[in-house]
A and B are shown apart, each in its own frame.
Chain A
Amino acid sequence: MSGLNLNELVHEAHASNDYDSLIRLVPYARLIGIECLRLGDEMVFRLPQNEDNIGNPMLPAIHGGVIAGFMEHAAMLHLLMFMGAPHLPKIIDFSIDYLRAGHYRDTFAACQVWRQGRRVANVAITAWQTHQAEPIATARCHFKIDEP
């Protein structure tokens, strides 16, 4: 991605309210099918129902690893959109609690940056399907960030 200006991409995405170019940047995000919606000043991430993301075939339910990957990527995009970093943040640790089965349907995620220091950011992520107040999973992670 040398020669690519992340700041510019983020700026253009905000201006056009079209985050496709940011999503397309990362092959894994395309693989599981992440989408991004802006509601006022809030960002909500969406993982559309996708057969290829199924883990348990009997329920059927989304693979827990896909839910985690979706939430980790949502956190990274959220940081990218709100901090103006020149590089992608790097994951330090990731911890997830599974609260309900992730059924075979659309999943949503929203993030909260609890602390953004000069080198490390702490982000909490909530994922839900039917009601935001009934999350299917909560997660928290640390990212190493470059000083802008």
Chain B
Amino acid sequence: MSDSQILERTQRFLSFLRHCQVLGLSVEHADGSGLILRLPYSEKIVGNPETGGVHGGAITTLMDTTCGISTACALPELEVCPTLDLRIDYMHPAEPGHDIFGFAECYRVTPTVIFTRGVAYQHDINEPIAHVVGAFMRMGKAAGGLGKEGVA
């Protein structure tokens, strides 16, 4: 599968997820080796009114989505993969007023489970805000709208 097909597939996947539209998530980069999504800074996702820092919940949503859709970079056909578990370790707080990026890659694909890992960062991927690992279940080929390439 070409990188442009992967990009199209991840963009379509993301467009189906209503809460991700509410947060304004967009695909920054996608290829066979991984996925980067962007979470734009906004007042509505602030978790600490003392500092203006983004709530962990918005970062978890970014990373759950990035890890989940990164499965589409590694699989030959699109599958819906629900999250089994997710762990986030916060390295330092996000700087208020700046967008947050999520990067994720699949580092092991088995017939039942996909293991993903990634980071959340702002200016430099080598200075992450958070490290993430997540495991996803394989449910077989996607049913309905998500599975039809080229739709939507």
> Are A and B bound to each other?
yes
Question: Taking the complex as formed, is B49 at the interface, i.e. its CB lies under 8 A from any CB of chain A?
Answer: yes
Give the contacting residue for A93; candidates B16, B20, B43, B89; CB below 8 A: B89
B83 CB contact (under 8 Å) in A51, A64, A72, A88? A64
How many A residues touch B, CB cutoff 8 Å? 40
The winner among A51, A62, A65 for most chain B CB atoms within 10 A is: A65
Taking the closest CB of chain A, its distance from the CB of B147, in whole angstroms, is: 10
Q: What's the Cα separation between A21 and B146 when bound, in Å?
A: 41
Contact call A26/B47, Cβ cutoff below 8 A: yes
Q: Which of B44, B62, B93 has the most CB of A within 10 A?
A: B44
Residue A110 is within 8 A (CB to CB) of chain B in the complex: no
B residues less than 8 Å from A29 (CB atoms): 55
The reply to whether A27 and B45 form a contact with Cβ atoms under 8 Å apart is yes
By the criterion of a CB under 8 Å from any partner CB, how many residues of chain B are at the interface? 41
Task: Assess whether A95 is in contact with B85, with CB atoms less than 8 Å apart.
Answer: yes
- Chain A residues with CB under 8 Å of B143's CB are 58
Q: Which residues of A contact B98 (CB under 8 A)?
A: none
Per-residue CB contact flags for chain B residues 59-73 toward chain A (1 = under 8 Å, else 0) read 011111100100000
Cβ contact of B48, chosen from A88, A95, A97, cutoff 8 A:
A88
A91 and B56 contact, Cβ closer than 8 Å, known pairs A96-B85, A97-B84, A98-B83: yes
In the bound complex, do residue B86 and residue A68 qualify as a contact, i.e. CB atoms below 8 Å apart?
Answer: yes
Residue contacts A-B, CB under 8 angstroms, 23 given: A1-B49, A26-B49, A26-B55, A27-B49, A28-B58, A53-B18, A55-B17, A56-B82, A57-B145, A63-B20, A64-B64, A64-B68, A65-B61, A66-B19, A68-B86, A69-B56, A73-B47, A87-B50, A88-B48, A90-B93, A92-B90, A96-B87, A97-B85
The 3 residue pairs across chains A and B that have the minimum distance between CB atoms: A69-B57, A65-B61, A28-B55
- Point out residues on A near B: beta carbons under 8 Å: 1-2, 25-32, 51-58, 62-66, 68-70, 72-73, 87-88, 90-98, 101
